[in-house]
Amino acid sequence: MADPKTRFLGGARILPQRVRGEMTAAQLVDGVFTAYNAARLREAARLLATKMLAPDTTVAASLTGALTPGGYGISCLIPLVEAGFVDWIVSTGANLYHDLHFGLGMRLHHGSPFVSDVELRKAGVIRIYDVFFDYKVLLDTDAFVREVIQAPEFQRPMSSAEFHNVLGRYVTEREKVLKIEGSSLLAACHRAAVPVYTSSPGDSSIGMNVAALALTGSRLTIDPNLDVNETAALVYDAKRSGGKSAVLILGGGSPKNFLLQTEPQIQEVLGLEERGHDYFLQVTDARPDTGGLSGATPAEAVSWGKIDPDQLPDAVVVYTDTTIALPLLTAYALANREPRPLKRLYDRREQMLGRLREDYLAARGSKGND
């Protein structure tokens, strides 16, 4: 009879490498991250590099928290997009707005959270924790957004992906003039045809400027119906084409749900057969027991149909700050995976939406619905 201990003691022995000054980030993760949330980060890095970045897997990323003002758009997100490691995005509007500062050549500075905000207000300085910038940065970015979205091509309803793609084209041109190509995530996504959605279009300074121009007759509106159906179509097409769907969730909040609700939209609402996303990787500091979506586990998501129950072993949650985990995950992926051909999903939106529409109408017809 086998010793019952072997069931529990079959894992690799904990005997880490000594940390050396010349170690790469990937070597540090593989050789030193042995336990606790460091081990979860190692598991996440390996899941990302070995499975999520397979050629047939479509990777969606959700972005919350002040990532772009801290420079994580330039340092991590743009390299992931350009390497073909992120195929579509759901972001807070704030991350996309603050990304514009970099594409317009504006300056953000290291600061301190331990200062008087009353004094900062008097000095005309904006603070995002320990990131400082001149109040004029907001005013000049607002002016750029308002000028651009008054163009005739914006005078109609559109999905947030189309809105951000066209806006990204203008930012790309500004980067060229300023000779700062590679500074803006929106510009990078425009070039790579990576669709960028926001789950709450009015909840940011970009949305505020869109609303302001509506007071003067602008016909631009962001259509949430298009966003819901387009994002579902991206996932549906990935799965029906014989591939897999992976989610990389940075933080939580509304973008997390908007990304994950694609599967309930396909299954519950449209009545099309599906089993959920195949791979789940989340970085969060939120607890599950408070009932908030940011802390909801992949196991809980199974009950909603968001995650394929057979794929739970390929679901990892890392409880740490995204600003710590994201650079390590990015470095690990770039060190262990060759760049993938760009899927250029933005260019195929109408085709994928058409496929979803046809199958939905066929399913309704077969059930006798009118």
What DSSP line would sit under 301-354, residue for residue? HHHTTSB-GGGGGGEEEEES-HHHHHHHHHHHHHHHSPPPPP--GGGGHHHHHH
Residues in the chain: 370
Residues 6+ apart with CB under 8 A from 119: none
**Tokens of residue 203, six digits:** 């909840």
Contact 323, 250 (CB under 8 A): no
Contact 144, 151 (CB under 8 A): no
Torsion of CA 361, 364, 365, 370, to 10 degrees: -100
How many angstroms separate the Cα of 132 from the Cα of each of 75, 96, 113?
18, 18, 9
Residues 6+ apart with CB under 8 A from 229: 265, 353, 356
Residues with a known catalytic role? 306
CA distance 243 to 63: 24
CA distance 48 to 50: 6
Please state, as a whole number, how many other Cβ atoms lie within 10 Å of the Cβ of residue 19: 10
Domains of the chain, residue spans: 46-104+159-204+221-364
The CATH number assigned to the domain with range 46-104+159-204+221-364 reads: 3.40.910.10
pLDDT tens, N- to C-terminus, the chain (370 residues): 678 888 888 888 999 999 999 999 999 999 999 999 999 999 999 999 999 999 999 999 999 999 999 999 999 999 999 999 999 999 999 999 999 999 999 999 999 999 999 999 999 999 999 999 999 999 999 999 999 999 999 999 999 999 999 999 999 999 999 999 999 999 999 999 999 999 999 999 999 999 999 999 999 999 999 999 999 999 999 999 999 999 999 999 999 999 999 999 999 999 999 999 999 999 999 888 777 767 777 777 777 777 777 777 889 999 999 999 999 999 999 999 999 999 999 999 999 999 999 999 999 987 765 5
- Model's pTM, two decimal places? 0.94
